[in-house]
Chain A
Amino acid sequence: MLSNYISTGNSDTRSGYGDAMTILGDTNPDVVALCADLIGSLKIQPFIDAHPERFFQAGISEANMIGMAAGLATGGKIPFPSTFANFATGRVYDQIRQSVAYSYKNVKISASHAGITLGEDGATHQILEDIGMMKMLPGMVVINPCDYNQTKAATLAVAEYYGPVYLRFGRPKWPIFTPAEQKFEIGKAIHMNEGNDVSLIATGHMVWQSLEAARVLQREGINVDLINIHTIKPLDDKAIINSVSKTRCVVTAEEHQRNGGLGDSVAQLLSINNPTPQEYVAVNDSFGESGKPLELLDKYGLGVKDIINAVKKAISRKK
């Protein structure tokens, strides 16, 4: 039910990561943290204060950080190398591919400031291609939680999972609307609202945008089947197929390029299993720019009104 998901306050998702790392510091002695000169941004100072010997400052040397994480994992540690999403992926793609993914190391790549809501720093830092790059790597789990609570739960969950993980979160203060004590199951979608008119499948910050859109649509008599996909890979095929078999049209919403993102994964799944009219709410083959997060979401087609329009278009295309 939409009314189950109301904002209880604002926090950045990266604080969910940092607070979970603090917990992991005390509960899992194998967890170690690495960072490339962005401790404050990643919110891991409390972890460092409590366990200085389990933190490694890599400096502005992301490639070396990823390699060291692979070496630490080889010896049995659970390393969380962390930096901005741009530097955690594009800058070190080959290091991740060879030393982490192909070598199947238990490394949790922790990527903050993902997407256009990074805001004022502009396009050099607003990576919108990272989900695509990471999901293409065989064996890589890709997770993009939607709020503080889910990010915290996801961080705790990936420490319990063996294998390479890409954990993507963001910079801006954002509504907290999922339960604090939620169960986070990797690869298991969360069905947030039951509806028969359209499947709205969203990840990351766009889940809140989708909730807001669904509330408006509900008042207009359009009932949205709303699915929170926090794990883009492995995708919860069953949840998506079940939903569209009921609604017969789908909208995907993500803070990422249309190319290579969640929408692509959903389209691939459905083209094979159940071809369905689909609309994409995503950045359309464009770099971002400086601005405030909400201004940018609106300008680049990721606003609440964009989701509403996409939903109506998808419904109009139903066969």
Chain B
Amino acid sequence: MKSNQELKSIASQVRRDIIKQVSAAASGHPGGSLGCTDFLTALYFSVMDHDSSFNMKAENEDVFFLSNGHISPVFYSILARSGYFDVKELATFRQINGRLQGHPTTHEGLPGIRIASGSLGQGVSVAIGMALNKRLNGDNKTVFVLTGDGELQEGQIWEAALFAAHNKVDNLILTVDWNGQQIDGANDDVIALGDLEAKWKAFGWHVMHMDGHDYNDLITSLNKAKNMRNGKPICILMKTNMGEGVDFMAGTHKWHGKAPNAEQTENALSQLEETLGDY
């Protein structure tokens, strides 16, 4: 069991990896990646029982699906730092002939990726399919899926919500990256999501709240959700700060899909301690 301090130390390196990947590619999505770093660090380095030797079927292990595929930089760093592939490969992010595509894909055989994502709204359905599969197999492990908050504007999400509640898919934990931002601005200005807690409850889900940057809360909440199994799928509304960890990127949608220039990269890296060695 890793201490919160150890997890924070990993997260600092993951944030460095994110900045370096996006900077080198001169493209990519740093804002949401930085905002979900603590969540994914907690998930992969503490909460999930998973095997980095990678078996596509994920038999008898917890499994995670990334529905908001554009935050691939954090996903790639987390997978590499967990041992799914060599951290040096992070240097190939978005480069031709590489496995680290702009959005995650199974197409290039990158260990740790089980579905392509990027076109939003599809991951919850896929996660339900895996959860049903585990139920059929008598496999008691848990399926996790992450979506953005703006992504909840996709209709397929609510198709999936109805199905999972009706079928009591309670080995499924959906986390919503609730940073309140999307490409064109605040959710509230684009298409307001309204009372998300009431919506998910009305759809028959068990709803929890979590601070996406507080490791005590992350670990406690995720483990609680994992052990709940009360006949309802679980939705965790996770408050995050887009761009968390880099002062000039934090709290704005402006770094959703924009890479820092050389000077900004240097500034960002100066704010993030190198803890595990840069790639």
| Nearest CB on B from A254, distance (A) | 30
| Nearest CB on A from B230, distance (A) | 21
Q: What is the interface of chain B mostly: helix, strand, loop, or mixed?
A: helix
A99 touches B116 (CB 8 A): yes
Q: A67-B122, A98-B118 are in contact. Are A74 and B133 (CB under 8 A)?
A: yes
CB of A285 closer than 8 Å to a CB of B: no
A79 to B129: give the CA distance in the assembly, Å.
10
A103 touches B106 (CB 8 A): yes
A70 touches B162 (CB 8 A): no
A64 touches B163 (CB 8 A): yes
Write out the residue numbers on chain A whose beta carbons fall within 8 Å of the beta carbon of B130. 71-72, 74-75
CB of A17 closer than 8 Å to a CB of B: no
CB of A66 closer than 8 Å to a CB of B: yes
B57 touches A104 (CB 8 A): no
| Nearest CB on A from B150, distance (A) | 17
Write out the residue numbers on chain A whose beta carbons fall within 8 Å of the beta carbon of B118. 98
| Nearest CB on A from B168, distance (A) | 13
Task: Choose one: A72, A98, A103; the contact of B133 (CB below 8 Å).
Answer: A72
A179 to B108: give the CA distance in the assembly, Å.
42
Task: Choose one: B131, B137, B159; the contact of A63 (CB below 8 Å).
Answer: B159
CB of B190 closer than 8 Å to a CB of A: no
Task: Choose one: B56, B58, B133, B159; the contact of A77 (CB below 8 Å).
Answer: B133
Closest to A94 in B: B119
Write out the residue numbers on chain B whose beta carbons fall within 8 Å of the beta carbon of A61. 156, 159-160, 162-163
- Report the 8 A-B pairs with minimum CB-CB distance, sorted nearest first: A71-B129, A67-B125, A75-B133, A61-B159, A64-B159, A68-B129, A71-B126, A72-B129
10 contacts between A and B (CB under 8 A): A64-B160, A70-B122, A70-B125, A71-B65, A74-B58, A79-B129, A98-B116, A98-B119, A99-B115, A105-B115
Instruction: Tell me the B residues contacting A by CB distance below 8 Å.
Output: 56-59, 65, 105-107, 114-119, 121-134, 136-137, 155-156, 159-160, 162-163, 166-167
